[in-house]
Structure 1
Amino acid sequence: MSESTTPSPSPAPRPTPPRPGAPRPAAPSPAALAGRATHAPLVPVVAPDAEHDEAEVAAALAYGSVDEERTIAVQDGTQKRPLGTADEGTSEEDALRPFAHAYLDLVSFLDLSERKLAVPGLSQAELNRILEQLRKRLKDPQVVGDVPALRARAAELREKAKGFIQEIETERTAAREAALARRTEFVESIEALVATDPSRISWRSAGETMRQMVPTWKQLQSEDKNLDRATEDALWKRLSAARGAFDRVRKQFFSGLDEQHAEAEKVKEALIVRAEALRESTDWGPTVRSYRELMDEWRAAPRGNRRKDDAQWARFKAAQDTFFTARNADLEASDAEQRENLTVKEALLTEAEALVPVEDVERAAAALRRVQDRWESAGKVPRADIRRVEDRLHAVERAVKQAEDAEWRRTDPRTRERVQGASSQLHAAIAEYEDALAAARDSGDPRRIDEAEKALAARQEWLAVIERSARDLG
């Protein structure tokens, strides 16, 4: 049974009520009085001349006997167990009385043990001491009285003490497991830090964590005293190994970082030279694209020393700013010119839109061409207005084109001939379909009548369309 854990408080056990067959003294015995004293020993010391209640003595004497051979015996359950030999001339009662007194002393001892077990917060050592005294005193009691009742009561007290010890052990085991979990969690947190990708570690914070590793471990040791030495040593070895691995990783990382910084400085210096070569360019579009490409390369370049990186970035950005400042100034001047062009084109749109609806096709087409010539000469307008003014001009151009097409169809002789020929053919066909309808009606066949009516109606609709076209051409 382990004694490495610390018991947690448990509810105080209630005193065991008196057992049938287990006599109690009417007045406290010296042993019982000793049990009430502060810091009383677990095993009461009974004075040899302790007084006992005569009624209880008489009840105990009933279990003893002295035979013809002067053998003193006690009825122990179903057997009679010898205790000793009475002196010649001693009466049976006088021979049995010391053994009855010893029995009552054991009863008082059990009373005291029961009271001890009712005290909350007994340590495992105290409980073991009670168990040992119960074992010794009840192993082979040389007493006269109800010995089976003594043993039964002692067995109950032993079970109660063992139950308390089991509770202590359970709590101690739980405390040990909790301590192991806390220590393991701490060790694993250090191991996880060491296993982190070096590029993702905050080295300042990680360094502080490693510096506090030993103080934290010592604090856990002071708080958790329930771990066995072997387990604690194994965890410390893992922790020590993690610290050594951390030191190696940090050394390798910063060694590689120096090489990376040197490479980054070289790459970014080349990008700065290219950026500075473009800063005076006035070829705005291509140069803007070039600077975008340079910016992408800058982002993809390795990171350098913070101070050096900042200085190089300032030079790179200065080159960009020189170019874009000149470009923005040019754009502002261009914007002013385009706003003036927009005013001109809006005036041209007013002139063009006055041609719709088209009344004189030739005059409208000639006027539109003059507007278009001046439109091209007017120049660019702001980007936000391009779609709006272009759509308005296109609407006028479509209206004039539609008028020209309609005029061409109206004056084309071939078109007139085709319309007149189709009209003549439809007149002849309509006459035939009227005859077919009359024949269908004479037959009385509903299906034939329906088909003939539909065919005649379709030709009449076609004829109406053609005649409207003929009127338009005329």
Structure 2
Amino acid sequence: MRTSARALGPRRDAGRRVVLLTVEFDAMVRCATIMTPSLPTAVPRDPAERPKELPVSESETPDPTPTPRPTPRPAPRPKPPSPAALAGRKPSAPLIPVAPPVQDYDEDSIRQALAFGDIDENGVVVVQDGTQKRELGPATSTDRDEALTPFARGYLDLVAFLDVTQQRLAAPALTQADLNRLLENLRKNMKEPQVIGDIPALRARAAELREAAKEKIHVLEQERLEARETATTERTAFVESIEELVATDPERMSWKSSGERMRGMVGEWKRMQKEGPSLDRATEDALWKRLSSARSAFDRKRRQFFSHLDEQHAEAEKVREDIIRRAEEMQHSTDWGPTVRAYRSLMDEWRAAPRGNRKKDDAQWARFKAAQDTFFTARNEDLRATDAEQKENLARKEELLTEAEALDPSTDLEKAKEAMRSIQDRWDEAGKVPRSDMRRIEDRLRTVERSLRQAEEDEWRRTDPRTRARVEGASSQLHEAISSYQEDLDRARQSGDPERIRKAEEALEARRQWLEVIERSARDLG
């Protein structure tokens, strides 16, 4: 599990932190001395006699430096560790923010702080800490102000410490580790401080700073939780997308693009780990287990798919080889019609055959097409020769049609019939014509044949004795019927009955019309 960058702190700021740690260690030593009950009597009052502070540039720390104020110093002062030593290990004691450079405090501030301290009858320095008095240690001088002033300066050092802490809290780039360190420093420095001054006010201010720090920690924690939740959602969505990819039907999966995505899966997971916040161990382990399981399932499905695909390709190759064998057996056939139908059937089988390896499919298709081309090339050459012959046949038949259409059966029916029989014999000898012209010329010949048959039927009806006898008998019967119906009409007119007259007239007129038709037929026969 990789260590969180937030927990370790940005590595790029290591150099700046080394300088800050050195200065903070120096401030820690000063405050620790202030909080010690027994203080030395010899405190250098001249700033020139005090040890110099390590320089801190504005680019190395974001803390604004308040007005310099003096702070009491232990004698002798312990030597601070080197930056190289601090860079290689954590400080053994909690660090506090940078204290201002040592210089004298103004007399009014010292005098206000002295008002909270005193020396009791036993020569012990005491401080008014809220409602109780607390002993700080034996007085080092009989003069009250001289004995209490170092404690008052310690109080002002703590005020300066809170000022710096407040400035640090206002910085925009604080991490949770920074805030935890500030809280620890506040806790240690404000636990019964060995100073003289308005300690309740100091504690109240420190409590406000603690609440502000806790609020920032709470905000950072919420941001961290939200970032973790977002990262969890993002990584879960990533894992689900991989699982969805693995669940795709093998027949519909693009194995090339899917394989590339699966190969980049671990790199993408590591990128999300590196760039995003760390997840809790259980969640990250569960997601990684799902991701690893999906990768294993993908590899298994790919092996199974391509194994099955190899079997399909082998079967497809076998089926197509059989089709090619039959195609090559027919390629020199001259039985055009059945062979064309057989090749069409083979093409249907080729399309229905399972897919094989592309290279082998292409090679087999080339062999199958070569067999077809051999047959159809020979057939097309034969068709071209046949087409030329049929065009010559068409020209001969059109000449015969012209001769047939010139026949006139009305002048000499028997001669026209004999000429037609000669034309029909020569028509059959002429042979086949192009399919596109066949119906046209056949229809013209059938028209001439129908006209001859009609003329022959008309002549037969005209010269048949039985037909003539039937016509004459019908005419005689109609003449007798007309005479009878004429008598009926005369009697009806004599009776004066209009209905009877009308019926008699209609019956007589019908017989006259029939007689007219029969007499016209008799004239045609004659």
TM-score range with shorter-chain normalisation? 0.5 to 0.7
Label 1:405 to 1:260 Cα distance change in 2 as closer, same or farther (>3 A): same
2:510 maps to a residue whose letter is A
Q: TM-score, normalised by structure 2?
A: 0.50
Inter-CA distance 278–219: structure 2 relative to 1 (3 Å threshold): same
| 2:362 aligned partner | 310
CA distance in 2, matches of 1:280, 1:384: 28
Determine the C-alpha separation between the residues in 1 that align with 2:272 and 2:509. 105
The residue aligned with 1:50 is none
- Aligned-residue offset at 1:207: 2.6
Contact 2:400 2:427 in 1 (8 A): yes
Alignment of 1:224-235 (within 5 A): none
Distance 1:288 1:368 in 2: 39
- Corresponding position of 2:58: none
* SS of the residue 1:315 aligns to: helix
Match of 1:208 in 2: 260
Residues 421 and 232 (structure 1 numbering): CA distance in 2 closer, same or farther, change over 3 Å? farther
Compute the RMSD of aligned alpha carbons: 3.9
CA displacement 1:206-226 (0-9 Å, x = unmatched): 33344455666788899999x
- Contact 2:316–2:354 (CA under 8 A) maintained in structure 1: yes
Residue among 372, 382, 403 paired with 1:351 = 403
CA distance in 2, matches of 1:197, 1:270: 31
Shift of 1:466: 1.9
Deviations 1:385-409 (A, max 9, x none): 0001100000000000100111111
Query: Quick check: 1:471 aligned with 2:519?
Result: no
Which 5+ residue runs of structure 1 have no aligned equivalent?
1-167
- The one-letter amino acid paired with 2:358 is R
Q: Quick check: 1:399 aligned with 2:456?
A: no
User: Which of 270-279 and 375-384 deviates more?
Assistant: 270-279
d(CA) in 1 for partners of 2:454 and 2:280?
102
1:459 aligns with 2:511: yes
| Distance in 2 of aligned mates of 1:451 and 1:222 | 122
Map 1:34-433 to 2 at 5 A: 190=242, 193-212=245-264, 242-356=294-408, 358-433=410-485
Would you say the 8 A contact 2:394–2:433 is kept in 1?
yes
What is the distance in 2 between the residues matched to 1:360 and 1:298?
A: 65
Question: SS where residue 280 of structure 1 aligns?
Answer: coil
State the alpha-carbon separation in 2 of the partners of residues 426 and 229 from structure 1: 126
Distance apart, 1:185 and its partner CA:
7.4
CA distance in 1 between partners of 2:517 and 2:268 (Å): 101
Provide the rounded CA distance (Å) in 2 between the counterparts of 1:220 and 1:462: 113
Give the whole-Å Cα distance in 1 for the aligned partners of 2:463 and 2:493.
Answer: 44
Distance 1:230 1:440 in 2: 128
Change in 2 beyond 3 A, CA 1:253/1:358:
farther
**Residue 295 of structure 1: CA displacement?**
1.3
The one-letter amino acid of 2:480's match is A
Q: Report which of the two structures shows the higher radius of gyration computed on alpha carbons.
A: 2
Q: Displacement, 1:289?
A: 1.3
Task: For residue 303 of structure 1, give the secondary structure of its aligned residue in structure 2.
Answer: coil
Q: SS state of the match for residue 356, structure 2?
A: coil
1:304–1:407 CA distance, 2 compared to 1 (3 A): same
Question: Is the CA contact (8 Å cut-off) linking 2:409 and 2:455 kept in structure 1?
Answer: no
Q: How far is the alpha carbon of 1:241 from its aligned partner? A: 5.1
Larger relative contact order (CA 8 Å, sep ≥ 6): 1
* Cα deviation 1:61-83 (Å, max 9, x = unaligned): xxxxxxxxxxxxxxxxxxxxxxx
SS of 2:508's equivalent in the other structure is helix
Shift in alpha-carbon separation, 1:322–1:437, aligned structure 2, 3 A: same
Asked if the contact 1:433–1:456 (Cα under 8 Å) also holds between the matched residues in 2, the reply is: yes
Are the aligned partners of 2:405 and 2:448 in contact in 1 as well (CA < 8 Å)?
yes
Q: CA deviation at 1:460?
A: 2.9
- Contact residue 358 and residue 399 of structure 1 kept, 8 A: no
User: What is the rounded CA distance, in whole Å, between the counterparts of 1:232 and 1:467 in structure 2?
Assistant: 120
2:407 alignment partner, SS class: coil
Whether the aligned pair in 2 keeps the contact of 1:265 and 1:304 (CA below 8 Å) is yes
Instruction: Give the drift of 1:254.
Output: 0.7
Kindly indicate whether the alpha-carbon contact (under 8 Å) linking 2:409 and 2:416 is maintained by their aligned counterparts in 1: no
Taking the aligned partners of 1:410 and 1:436, their CA distance within structure 2 comes to 36
- The separation in 2 between residues aligned to 1:343 and 1:309, in whole angstroms, is 49
What is the alpha-carbon distance in structure 1 between the residues aligned to residue 497 and residue 264 of structure 2? Answer: 110
Cα displacement (A) at 1:341 = 0.6
Supply the AA of the counterpart residue of 1:208.
E
Q: Cα distance, 1:249 vs. partner?
A: 2.3
Give the letter for the 1:253 counterpart. F
- Deviations, residues 386-440 of structure 1 (Å, cap 9, x unaligned): 0011000000000001001111111111111112222222233333334444445
CA distance in 2, matches of 1:344, 1:337: 11
- Give, in angstroms, the shift of residue 194 of structure 1: 4.0
Cα distance in structure 1, aligned partners of 2:268 and 2:522:
106
- 1:356–1:399 contact (8 Å) kept in structure 2: no
CA contact (8 A) 1:341 1:379 kept: yes
Aligned mates of 1:337, 1:189 — CA distance in 2: 71
Q: Are the counterparts in 2 of residues 358 and 400 from structure 1 also a CA contact under 8 Å?
A: no
Q: Aligned equivalents of 1:189 and 1:444: distance in 2? A: 113
Answer whether contact 1:356 1:396 (CA < 8 A) is retained: no
Question: What code does the residue aligned with 2:431 have?
Answer: G
Structure 1: distance between partners of 2:282 and 2:462: 112
